[in-house]
C-alpha cells in the first residue's frame, strides 16, 4: 500500500483519540459502578423498546429513503436541489427543536394529532425516523450518484424496464454504501434522545431511561445503564460490517459444446432506410444532424468531440433532451423508450456492471439467446473468463464482453457500435472485424458504426457520414465520400496524408505542375465527378498507393530513402510540385529520377476552399 503523508496520519490519530477518550474515561471508572440503584427489569424493557423502535425506524427509513436517495441522485432541476436541502435539515436542528416541530405536527391539536402518536411507541419511531433519515438518504444519494449512468443506459438498450434496471443494476451497485447508511441510521435512531423526549417520553427508550436514572441516582449508576447501550451499538456495527463484507466471488461453470457462430453462406439482407433529424443544444456545443441513408451499414467519422457518440445515443433513445426524430424503414422510433427500440448497443466505455460476471454480462439482455451468447463467448475467447468480474479484465477483454452481450440478443433492428474494436490488438481487431461483418451481413439490421479509423469505415460500411462540430460535413456512399471528400478537413478525417495542389484540366486530368497530369477515376467506375476545368483543387493518395515502378505513368524524383520500418520503406519524393511522403515496398531500390504509378481510382480530389 502507498505510504500516507505524516501530517495526514497525525491529524487522523488526534481525532481518533478524542473520540476514544470518553470511553476510556468511563472504563477507568468501572470500579465505581453502582448496580444497587438500577431497576434491571426497567432497564431491559427500555433496551427492548430502543432496539425495536430503532429497527422499525431503520426499516421504514430504508423503504422510503433508498428511493428518495435515487430520486435526488438522478433528478434534475430546482426541486431536486430544494428537496436535497430539506432532507438535511434534521441534521442542522438541535434534536429538542426537532421534537418541538414534531409536536406541532403530531401533538395534541396538530394536523396529525388524531393519530395519537405522542406518548406512544409509534411516537418514538416517528421521532427516530425524523432525526436518523438524513444519514441513509445522504449515503444512498451519494452511492447512486457515483454509478456510471452508462450502465443504466445500456441496460435499457438491452430491453430492461426502469424498475428492473433499478433492481438489477443500480441497487446492487449502491448496496454497500446504502448498508453503511442504514447502520448509521440505526445507530442514530438507537441513541436518539432529544426529539423522543419531547414527543414520546413514555414508554422509556434506553436514552430516556438513562436520563431518568441519572436524575435519580447520579453518575455512579450510569455505568451499568451505559453498558447495554454500548454492547447493543457494537453489535449493530458488527452486523453491518458482516453484511457489507466482500462476498467470495465463485467461478461460473464453463459452457458446453458450441454451435457455429454463423452460417457463412447466408445472403446479405436488404438495405434499411434510416432518417435522422437530431438536435441537441448544450452550452458550447450544438448537435444538429440530418441524415437520409439507405444502407446496411453506416460509418460515422469525425474529430474528437464532434458529436459521434451523442448521435449514436440519440438513435438509441438515450439522449432524452435531444429533439430526435429517428425513422427506420418509415417507422418512427422517436416515441419509443430505449428498451423498445431493439438495439444492440456497444458503448465506448463498454458499460459492464461491476457486480456481474462475464457469463452474466453476456446473458444480461432480456431476449438473450443462450446458444448465441455461448457461441459469441467462444468466438471472442471469453470462455475462460466466464467467472471473472469486469475489474479483473483488460480493456480489450471488456470490449469483447460488450460485443458478445450486444450480439447475443434475439430481437435486433439496429446495431450501434461506438468504436467497438479500439481496445483490441491489431490481429484480433482484423479477425473480429471480419467476424462481426460476416454476422452483420446475415442479419436484417442496420448498423451504425462510430470509428476514428477510415480503413475500418471503408472495410465495414456502405455509407459514410463525416461529422464536425455537431454537423454533417459530408455523407454518401463510402466510395463517393472517399473519392470526393469535398473539403480538406473531410479528406484528413479520411486519412489523407500525401496532399498536393493542382488544377483541373479540360480533359479531366489534374495538372500538378512540372508538366505532370494525374489521371482520376471515380472508384465506382462512374465519371470522375470533378470540379469544372480550371478549378483549383487539392489531391491526395495514401502513402502506400504511390508506387515507384519502372514503367510508371508519371515522372518523379526521390529526395530521400529511409531505412525499412514495419516492413515498408519510407521515402520522400517530388511529384509535379508536390513533395510527398510515401511508403514503398522494402525491395524498392529506386533513387533520384524515377517513375511512379497511382491507381486513378485511389486519388481523392476536392476543391480548394
Ligand atoms: N453535458 C454537456 N455539456 C456541454 N457539452 C457537452 C456535454 N456533454 C457532451 N458535451 C459535448 O458534446 C460534444 C459531443 O460529444 P461526443 O461524446 O458525442 O463526442 P465524440 O465525437 O463521440 O468524441 P470522441 O471521439 O472523443 O468520443 C463534445 O464536444 C462534448 O464536449
Centre of ligand 1 from the C-alpha of residue 103, in Å: 52
3-state secondary structure of 302: coil
**Which of 305, 318, 348, 448 for mutating ligand 1's site (highest number of atoms within 8 Å of CB)?**
305
* 453: Cβ contacts below 8 Å, ≥ 6 apart: none
* 408: Cβ contacts below 8 Å, ≥ 6 apart: 362, 363, 365, 368, 369, 372, 373, 376
Centre of ligand 1 from the C-alpha of residue 310, in Å: 7
- All three cell numbers of 142: 451519494
Q: Whose CA is nearest to atom 27 of ligand 1?
A: 304
Q: Whose CA is nearest to atom 14 of ligand 1?
A: 307
Q: What is the ipTM of this complex?
A: 0.96
Q: What is the β-pairing status of strands 297-301 and 446-450?
A: parallel
CB 371 within 8 A of CB 407: no
3-state secondary structure of 139: helix
- Which residue shows C-alpha cell 475489474? 391
Centre of ligand 1 from the C-alpha of residue 318, in Å: 14
Centre of ligand 1 from the C-alpha of residue 490, in Å: 19
Which residue positions in the chain have pLDDT lower than 70? 1-2, 246-266, 322, 524-528
Centre of ligand 1 from the C-alpha of residue 307, in Å: 6
Give the whole-angstrom CA distance, residue 346 versus residue 407.
9
* pLDDT at residue 298, rounded to an integer: 95
Report the atom number in ligand 1 closest to the C-alpha of 311. 18
Global pTM value: 0.79
Q: Whose CA is nearest to atom 29 of ligand 1?
A: 305
- All three cell numbers of 257: 459444446
**Which of 281, 286, 302, 306 for mutating ligand 1's site (highest number of atoms within 8 Å of CB)?**
306
What residue ranges line ligand 1, CB within 6 angstroms? 282-285, 302, 304-310, 348
Q: Whose CA is nearest to atom 25 of ligand 1?
A: 304
Instruction: Write down all domains in the chain, each with its CATH number in brackets.
Output: 24-243 (1.10.3720.10), 272-478 (3.40.50.300), 496-607 (no CATH)
Give the whole-angstrom CA distance, residue 144 versus residue 142.
6
Q: Whose CA is nearest to atom 28 of ligand 1?
A: 305
Q: What is the pLDDT of residues 270-324, one digit of tens each?
A: 889 999 999 989 998 999 999 999 999 999 999 999 999 999 999 999 987 767 8
How many other CB atoms sit within 10 Å of the CB of residue 547? Answer: 18
Q: What angle do CA 244, 156, 416 make, to 5 degrees?
A: 125
Q: Whose CA is nearest to atom 17 of ligand 1?
A: 309
* pLDDT at residue 186, rounded to an integer: 94
Q: Whose CA is nearest to atom 19 of ligand 1?
A: 305
Helix axes 222-243, 40-74, angle to 10 degrees: 40
Q: In whole angstroms, how far apart are CA 21 and each of 9, 25, 27, 423, 543?
A: 18, 6, 10, 54, 75
Report the atom number in ligand 1 closest to the C-alpha of 312. 18
Q: Whose CA is nearest to atom 18 of ligand 1?
A: 307
Give the whole-angstrom CA distance, residue 275 versus residue 595.
47
* pLDDT at residue 402, rounded to an integer: 93
Give the whole-angstrom CA distance, residue 79 versus residue 268.
52
Amino acid at each position: 500500500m502507498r505510504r500516507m503523508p505524516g501530517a495526514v496520519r497525525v491529524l487522523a490519530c488526534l481525532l481518533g483519540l478524542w473520540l476514544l477518550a470518553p470511553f476510556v474515561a468511563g472504563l477507568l471508572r468501572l470500579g465505581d459502578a453502582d448496580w444497587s440503584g438500577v431497576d434491571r427489569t426497567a432497564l431491559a424493557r427500555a433496551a427492548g423498546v430502543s432496539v425495536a423502535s430503532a429497527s422499525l425506524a431503520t426499516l421504514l427509513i430504508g423503504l422510503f429513503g433508498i428511493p428518495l436517495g435515487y430520486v435526488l441522485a438522478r433528478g434534475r432541476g430546482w426541486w431536486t436541489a430544494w428537496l436535497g436541502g430539506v432532507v438535511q435539515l434534521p441534521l442542522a436542528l438541535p434534536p429538542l427543536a426537532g421534537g418541538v416541530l414534531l409536536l406541532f405536527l403530531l401533538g395534541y391539536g396538530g394536523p396529525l394529532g388524531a393519530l395519537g402518536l405522542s406518548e406512544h411507541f409509534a411516537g418514538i419511531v416517528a421521532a427516530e425516523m425524523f432525526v436518523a433519515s438524513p444519514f441513509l438518504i445522504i449515503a444512498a444519494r451519494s452511492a447512486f450518484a457515483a454509478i456510471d449512468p452508462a450502465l443504466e443506459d445500456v441496460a435499457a438498450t438491452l430491453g430492461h424496464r426502469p424498475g428492473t434496471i433499478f433492481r438489477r443494476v443500480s441497487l446492487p451497485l449502491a448496496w454497500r454504501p446504502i448498508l453503511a447508511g442504514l447502520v448509521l441510521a440505526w445507530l442514530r435512531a438507537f441513541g436518539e434522545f432529544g426529539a423522543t423526549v419531547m414527543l414520546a417520553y413514555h414508554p422509556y427508550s434506553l436514552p430516556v431511561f438513562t436520563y431518568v436514572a441519572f436524575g435519580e441516582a447520579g453518575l455512579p449508576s450510569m455505568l451499568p445503564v451505559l453498558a447495554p447501550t454500548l454492547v447493543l451499538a457494537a453489535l449493530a456495527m458488527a452486523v453491518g460490517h458482516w453484511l457489507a463484507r466482500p462476498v467470495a466471488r465463485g467461478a461460473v461453470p464453463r459452457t458446453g459444446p458450441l454451435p457455429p457462430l454463423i452460417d457463412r453462406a447466408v445472403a446479405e439482407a436488404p438495405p434499411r432506410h434510416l432518417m435522422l433529424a437530431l438536435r441537441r443544444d448544450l452550452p458550447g456545443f450544438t448537435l444538429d444532424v440530418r441524415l437520409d441513408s439507405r444502407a446496411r451499414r453506416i460509418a460515422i467519422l469525425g474529430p474528437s468531440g464532434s458529436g459521434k457518440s451523442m448521435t449514436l445515443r440519440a438513435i438509441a433513445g438515450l439522449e432524452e433532451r435531444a429533439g430526435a426524430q429517428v425513422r427506420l424503414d418509415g417507422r418512427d422510433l422517436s416515441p419509443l423508450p430505449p428498451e423498445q427500440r431493439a438495439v444492440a448497443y456497444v458503448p465506448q466505455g463498454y458499460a459492464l456492471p461491476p457486480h456481474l460476471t462475464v457469463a452474466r454480462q453476456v446473458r444480461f439482455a432480456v431476449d438473450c439467446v443462450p446458444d448465441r451468447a455461448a457461441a459469441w463467448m467462444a468466438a471472442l475467447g471469453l470462455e475462460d473468463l466466464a467467472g471473472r468480474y469486469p475489474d479483473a479484465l483488460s480493456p480489450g477483454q471488456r470490449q469483447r464482453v460488450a460485443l458478445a452481450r450486444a450480439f447475443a440478443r434475439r430481437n435486433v433492428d439496429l446495431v450501434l457500435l461506438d468504436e467497438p474494436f479500439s481496445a483490441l490488438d491489431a490481429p484480433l481487431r482484423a479477425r473480429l472485424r471480419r467476424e462481426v461483418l460476416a454476422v452483420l451481413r446475415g442479419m436484417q439490421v442496420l448498423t451504425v458504426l462510430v470509428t476514428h479509423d477510415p480503413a475500418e469505415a471503408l472495410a465495414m460500411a456502405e455509407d459514410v457520414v463525416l461529422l464536425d462540430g455537431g454537423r454533417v460535413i459530408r455523407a454518401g456512399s463510402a466510395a463517393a465520400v472517399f473519392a470526393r471528400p469535398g473539403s480538406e478537413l473531410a479528406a484528413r478525417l479520411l486519412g489523407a496524408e500525401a496532399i498536393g495542389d493542382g488544377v483541373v484540366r479540360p480533359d479531366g486530368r489534374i495538372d500538378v505542375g512540372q508538366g505532370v497530369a494525374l489521371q482520376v477515376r471515380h472508384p465506382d467506375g462512374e465519371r470522375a465527378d470533378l470540379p469544372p476545368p480550371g478549378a483549383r483543387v487539392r489531391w491526395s493518395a495514401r502513402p502506400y498507393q504511390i508506387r515507384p515502378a519502372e514503367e510508371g505513368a508519371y515522372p518523379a524524383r526521390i529526395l530521400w530513402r529511409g531505412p525499412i520500418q514495419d516492413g515498408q520503406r519510407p521515402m520522400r519524393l517530388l511529384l509535379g510540385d508536390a513533395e510527398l511522403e510515401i511508403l514503398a515496398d522494402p525491395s524498392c531500390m529506386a533513387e533520384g529520377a524515377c517513375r511512379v504509378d497511382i491507381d486513378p481510382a485511389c486519388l481523392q480530389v476536392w476543391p480548394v476552399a
